[in-house]
With several copies, the nearest count.
Chain A
Amino acid sequence: MDAKELIARRVAHEIRPGMLVNLGIGLPSMVANYVPAELGVFFQAENGVIGLGARPPEGMEDENLTDAGGGFVSAVPGAASIDSAMSFGLIRGGHLDMTVLGGLEIDEAGQLANWKVPGKMVPGMGGAMDLVTGAARVIVAMQHAARGASKIVPRCTLPLTSLRRIDLVVTELAVIEPTEEGLVLREHAPGVSVEDIRAATAASLIVPAEIAEMQLA
Chain B
Amino acid sequence: MKGALRPAAAAEMIPDGASLLIGGFMAVGTPERLIDALVARGAKDLTVIANDAAMPGRGIGKLVTARAVSRVVASHIGLNPELQKLMIAGEIEVELVPQGTLVERIRAGGVGLGGVLTPTGLGTEVEQGKQKVEVGGRTFLVEEPITADFALLAAYQADYVGNLCYSLTAHNFNPTMALAGRTVIAEPASIVPVGVIPPDAVKTPGVLVDHLIVRAA
A residues sitting closer than 8 Å to B (CB atoms) are 20, 40, 42, 45-51, 62-70, 75, 77-95, 116, 122-130, 133-134, 159-163
B217 on the interface (CB 8 Å rule)?
Answer: no
Distance (whole angstroms) from the CB of A99 to the closest CB of chain B: 12
A130 touches B98 (CB 8 A): yes
In the bound complex, what is the Cα–Cα distance between A127 and B156 (angstroms)? 25
B5 at the interface (CB under 8 A from A): no
Which among B100, B113, B122, B167 has the highest number of chain A CB atoms within 10 Å? B100
Residue of A nearest to B53 (CB): A124
Given the complex of chains A and B, what is the CA–CA distance between A88 and B113 in angstroms?
11
Q: What count of chain B residues pass the 8 Å CB interface test? A: 67
Does B137 have its Cβ within 8 Å of any Cβ on chain A?
no
Query: A84 touching B199 by the CB < 8 A rule?
Result: no
Q: Which of B55, B79, B101, B124 interacts with A162 by CB under 8 Å?
A: B124
- Find chain B residues with CB under 8 A from A127 CB: 75, 98-100
Residue of B nearest to A97 (CB): B207
Which residues of A sit under 8 angstroms from B199, Cβ to Cβ? Answer: 49, 51, 75, 79-81
Kindly provide the distance from the CB of A107 to the nearest chain B CB, expressed in whole angstroms: 13
Closest CB in chain A relative to B63 CB, distance in Å = 17
- Cβ contacts A to B, 22 pairs, < 8 Å: A65-B169, A78-B161, A79-B199, A80-B199, A83-B173, A83-B203, A84-B100, A84-B103, A89-B179, A92-B112, A93-B179, A95-B207, A122-B88, A125-B96, A125-B98, A127-B75, A129-B98, A129-B124, A134-B100, A159-B125, A160-B124, A162-B124
Contact A94 B112 (CB under 8 A): yes
Which of A42, A47, A51, A94 is in CB contact (< 8 Å) with B28? A47
Of all A-B residue pairs in the complex, the 7 with the closest CB atoms, nearest first, are: A123-B78, A88-B100, A77-B195, A89-B111, A92-B112, A130-B100, A78-B161
* Contact between A85 and B107, CB atoms less than 8 A apart: yes
Is there contact, CB below 8 Å, between B207 and A66? no
User: B171 an interface residue at 8 Å Cβ cutoff?
Assistant: yes
A150 nearest CB across to chain B (Å): 22
Q: How far is the CB of A133 from chain B (nearest CB, A)?
A: 5
Contacting residue for A47 out of B87, B112, B169, CB 8 A:
B169
Shortest CB distance A211–B (Å): 32
Give Cα A50–Cα B168 distance, bound, in whole angstroms.
10
A42 to B111, CA, bound (A): 19
Interface residue ranges of B109-161 to A (CB < 8 Å): 110-113, 118-126, 156, 159-161
Docked CA distance A90–B173 (Å): 15
A81 and B159 contact, CB distance less than 8 A: no
Tell me the smallest distance from the CB of A43 to a CB of chain B, in Å. 11
| Cβ–Cβ contact B123 & A163, under 8 A | yes
Q: Are A126 and B75 in contact (CB under 8 A)?
A: yes
For A87, the chain B residues whose CB sits under 8 A away are: 100
Given known contacts A78-B163, A162-B120, A126 and B207 CB-to-CB distance under 8 angstroms:
no
- The reply to whether A45 and B169 form a contact with Cβ atoms under 8 Å apart is yes
